Amino acid sequence: MLHTPPSAREKYLYLETFGCQMNVSDSEKIVDLLKEIGYRLTQDSSQADLIILNTCSIRSKAEHKVYSQLGRYRELKSLNGDLILGVGGCVAQQEGERLLKKVPYLDIVFGTHNLHLLPEMVRAAETGERSAEVAFIDGEIRLDLFPAVDAGAEVSRFVTVMQGCDNFCAYCIVPHVRGREISRRSADILSEIRGMAKRGTREVTLLGQNVNSYGLKSSGELDFAALLREVARIDGIERIRFTTSHPRDISPGLIACFADLPKLCSHIHLPAQSGSDRILSLMNRGYTRGDYLAKVASLKEARPGIQITGDMIVGFPGENEDDFAQTLQLMEEVDYADLFSFIYSARPGTRAAEFDDELGRREKQERLAMLQSQQRERTQKRGRSFVGTCQQVLVEGNSKRGGQLTGRTSGNRVVNFPGDCTLVGRVVGVRIARAYPNSLLGELI
């Protein structure tokens, strides 16, 4: 068989994404950018000419995963000397040049503000040059460095409205690796969504580390509530979601949107992190348990039946039995539809990394197990409460189980049901027949 020189054949990109939705969104941009220099996405890493890991460093476990994955790709590199290996995202941002030294077979390190430099870096790597680019680029111009994502006709899409975070919660690495908060221009966001609606998108999720402070630092821009009201006016968009909210920054204006905008879904992700005032203050969260519960009550009043989900950290330095008991109690009062919970993980460079962390690993694990078992019961009870009801479901596509469609309720529960693929993109009535731990099963009405 004739050997085809690399320039004459298609080049393949294998992209692995770790962590949050922000990384998923960045990965879409990476695919777009690299398409322009001839790389097509492949699902088979052994076929790749270029492998990129888009990394997460929110907890040490996430970071370790990156290093073990890099170890695996070392083997592929030894089989194919031309293979280019790149690391982006939060670990890359944190480590910069050091990562090139630590991992001698790595070619490219690019930070969270440097996606636009990637094509150039890949070209250089094709000629054997290794490089690291992790400078933060501040100012409004940064967001305009990204090309508009060539959105397909997906029913539900994420739209980045802001990047970075200024909150500096004591445990959190995000402000250190994603930089200062910056909002996109409202006009750009709205025109992007209008374009998506024309191509068939029916649901948008506005995305940012702290969407509630959208626009507040850029003069002349809409604030988040006003942005939601404008998105709701776009024809074709039937559902609007947003994530993530900071409880301190939920304004009465935003809560009013839940009363006024039928397109706004009946779900909010509102991470409390702890139910103890003492710990919330050590975490630098800027609200008390009472403030949090008052906002939850207003949300429930504005939108009866709203599904509230959250994040919780156990074993933060100094958390005692009483603090933990308050967390469990808060969970009961809020009655979360679902909850993501984590053992505190010290992140280098954050304020809490300096705190004395005296609680043993075992106690932390016990607290997490207790919290999770209580929430599991609550989540399942909530699931069972839907059995027999009729839910409006936006059909997103075929479910992983063959022959069924999948979609979500306004409250963000996954519903699978038998049906024809012509229903994709439509909101249909589904009667719920069974509740599983992570989804509901129903039939079309």
Contacted entry of ligand 5AD, ligand SF4, none for residue 313, CB cut-off 5 to 8 Å set by kind: ligand 5AD
β-partners of residue 159 are 206
Pick the closer one to ligand 5AD by CB: 22 or 134: 22
Choices 3-11, 165-173, 274-282, 410-418 (CB under 6 A): range interacting with ligand SF4: 165-173
Q: How many CB atoms lie under 10 A from the CB of residue 162? A: 23
Residue nearest to ligand 5AD (CB): 311
Q: Which does 295 bind (CB under 5 to 8 A by kind): ligand 5AD, ligand SF4, none?
A: none
The contacts of residue 371 (CB under 8 Å, 6+ apart) are 312, 314, 327, 328, 331, 339, 341
**Is residue 19 a contact residue for ligand SF4 (CB under 6 A)?**
no
Omega prior to 112 cis, within 30 of 0: no
Nearest CB to ligand SF4, comparing residues 201 and 274: 274
Residue 179: other Cβ atoms inside 10 A: 20
* Residue 357 makes contact with ligand 5AD by CB under 6 A: no
Cβ pair 417, 432 in contact under 8 A: no
Backbone angles phi, psi at 148, to 5 degrees: -65, 135
Residue 209, both tokens: 């580390």
Map residues 304-323 to x or -, x wherever contact with ligand 5AD holds by CB under 6 A: -------x-x----------
In the complex with ligand 5AD, the residue whose CB is nearer, 86 or 247, is 247
* Residue 210 binding result from ligand SF4, ligand 5AD, none, given CB thresholds of 5 to 8 Å by partner type: ligand SF4
Residues 213-272 that bind ligand SF4 (CB under 6 A): 246
Could you say which residues in the range 269-288 bind ligand 5AD, by CB under 6 A?
A: 271, 273
Nearest to 147 by CA among 290, 29, 35, 34: 29
Binder of ligand SF4 out of 15, 109, 172, 211 (CB under 6 A):
172
Is 9 or 61 the residue whose CB approaches ligand 5AD more closely?
A: 61
* Sole binder of ligand 5AD in the list 172, 177, 211, 240 (CB under 6 A): 172
- Any contact of residue 167 with ligand SF4 (CB under 6 A)? yes
Q: Which is nearer to ligand SF4, 249 or 396 (CB)?
A: 249
CA dihedral 34, 179, 56, 20 (to 10 degrees): -80
* Among 12, 171, 336, 417, interactor with ligand 5AD by CB under 6 A: 171
* Residue 94 within binding range of ligand SF4, rule CB under 6 A: no
CB of 313 to ligand 5AD, least distance (A): 5
- Beta carbons of 271 and 244 less than 8 angstroms apart: yes
Name which of ligand SF4, ligand 5AD, none residue 344 binds, using a CB cut-off of 5 to 8 Å depending on partner kind: ligand 5AD
Min dist. Cβ of residue 347 to ligand 5AD (A): 5
410: which 2 tokens?
């306004």
Q: How many CB atoms lie within 10 A of CB 9?
A: 11
For the bound state, the minimum distance from the C-beta of residue 430 to ligand 5AD, rounded and expressed in Å, comes to: 31
Which residue of 342, 366, 374, 426 would you call a contact of ligand 5AD, by CB under 6 A?
Answer: 342
Does 175 engage in binding with ligand SF4 (CB under 6 A)?
yes
Among residues 93, 94, 156, 210, the one that binds ligand SF4 under rule CB under 6 A: 210
Among 58, 99, 196, 279, binds ligand 5AD (CB under 6 A): 58
Closest to ligand SF4 by CB, 303 or 347 = 347
Pick from 177, 41, 179, 51: nearest CA to 103:
51
Given the complex with ligand 5AD, which of 163 and 186 has the nearer CB atom? 163
> Interface with ligand SF4 by CB under 6 A: which range of 31-39, 82-90, 168-176, 402-410?
168-176
Residues that bind ligand 5AD (CB under 6 A): 58-59, 171-172, 271, 273, 311, 313, 342, 344-345, 347
Residues that bind ligand SF4 (CB under 6 A): 165, 167-169, 172, 174-175, 209-210, 246
